[in-house]
Amino acid sequence: MTQLGLFAQGEAGPAGLRHIDNFIDTMTEQELIGHVAALPLQRFQFGAFEGNRRVAWFGYQYDYSQQRLTEAAPIPDWAAPIARQAEAWAGLAEGSVRQVLCTWYDQGVGIGWHRDKPHFDKVLGLSLGTSCKFRFRRRRGEQWQRYTLEALPRSLYLMDGEARSQWEHSIPPVEAPRCSITFRTMKQT
Ligand SMILES: O=C(O)CCC(=O)C(=O)O
Ligand SMILES: [Fe+2]
């Protein structure tokens, strides 16, 4: 079985990481890219040495100056069906996704090492446009334990459990434009 075949089966690498290729078809992918491209995306500064990704938040947004969650515009109608599909695949209750974040990476842009804010619980991500190396790392004594997920366009990942709480993730600069739609549930409602 190929690496990709293994990924398609579900868990691989960090506990709590699940992944599926071809979660959507190419026509849906093109429609979603069109929706994201049409958004008033804003530059997101994430550390001095990172390239600038551009984002649009829905449902909730993390306000870095106030260090808390604030309400954002409602999740748009075009994103709701795909959020429901992602919930169903992850075995989550319908409507449990409360935040949708659309992110655009131009060529050469990535995202540095981080864990998502603790206000959020499960994190699902749909990759669009081009593949990326979705890297994971966690400290093991003096060493870093590492894992790389090849996130193909149209694939979906779920970060839960240790993948969410212990491992950091990052994406090195992408070789061609990529966008993602991430879906987050909340710790407490
Ligand atoms: O683009 C992605 O798939 C993930 C981005 C990410 O890690 C984040 O927004 O927290
Ligand atoms: Fe993240």
Q: Give the DSSP letter of residue 74.
A: P
Establish whether residue 155 lines the binding site of ligand 1, counting it when its CB lies within 6 angstroms of any ligand atom: no
Confidence of residue 51 (pLDDT cuts 50, 70, 90): low
Atom of ligand 1 lying closest to residue 151 CA: 3
Beta-bridged to residue 171, according to DSSP, are 111
Atom of ligand 1 lying closest to residue 178 CA: 1
- Per residue in 85-133, pLDDT tens? 999 999 999 999 999 999 999 999 999 999 999 999 999 999 999 999 9
- Per residue in 69-85, pLDDT tens? 899 999 999 999 999 99
- Expressed in angstroms and rounded, the spacing between residue 159 Cα and the centre of ligand 2 is 9
Mean pLDDT for the stretch of residues 5-25: 76
Residue extents of the structural domains in the chain: 3-186
| Average pLDDT of the residues of the chain | 90
ipTM confidence: 0.99
Protein residue with least CA distance to atom 10, ligand 1: 116
Confidence of residue 65 (pLDDT cuts 50, 70, 90): confident
Establish whether residue 182 lines the binding site of ligand 1, counting it when its CB lies within 6 angstroms of any ligand atom: yes
Nearest ligand to the C-alpha atom of residue 152: 1
* Least reliable range by pLDDT among 7-21, 85-99, 139-153: 7-21
Nearest ligand to the C-alpha atom of residue 124: 1
Beta-bridged to residue 102, according to DSSP, are 56, 181
Protein residue with least CA distance to atom 1, ligand 1: 180
Mean pLDDT for the stretch of residues 135-153: 95
Amino acid at 50: E
Confidence of residue 10 (pLDDT cuts 50, 70, 90): very low
Phi, psi of 29 (to 5 degrees): -55, -50
Establish whether residue 99 lines the binding site of ligand 1, counting it when its CB lies within 6 angstroms of any ligand atom: no
Q: Which of residues 189 and 5 earns the better pLDDT score?
A: 189
Per-residue confidence (pLDDT) for residue 46, from 0 to 100: 55
Cα–Cα distance measured from residue 17 to residue 167, given in angstroms and rounded to the nearest whole number: 10
Q: Cα-atom radius of gyration of the chain, to the nearest Å?
A: 16
The fold adopted by the segment(s) 3-186 is Jelly Rolls (2.60.120)
Q: By percentage, how much of the chain surpasses pLDDT 90?
A: 81
Mean pLDDT for the stretch of residues 133-148: 95
Cα–Cα distance measured from residue 63 to residue 187, given in angstroms and rounded to the nearest whole number: 17
Confidence of residue 66 (pLDDT cuts 50, 70, 90): confident
Establish whether residue 125 lines the binding site of ligand 1, counting it when its CB lies within 6 angstroms of any ligand atom: yes
- Expressed in angstroms and rounded, the spacing between residue 93 Cα and the centre of ligand 1 is 22
Atom of ligand 1 lying closest to residue 125 CA: 3
- Expressed in angstroms and rounded, the spacing between residue 2 Cα and the centre of ligand 2 is 27
Phi, psi of 121 (to 5 degrees): -105, -95
Lookup result for tokens 């990052």 = 170
Is 50 a residue whose pLDDT tops 90? no
What pTM did the predictor assign? 0.90
Taking a C-beta distance cutoff of 8 angstroms, is the pair 35, 168 a contact? no
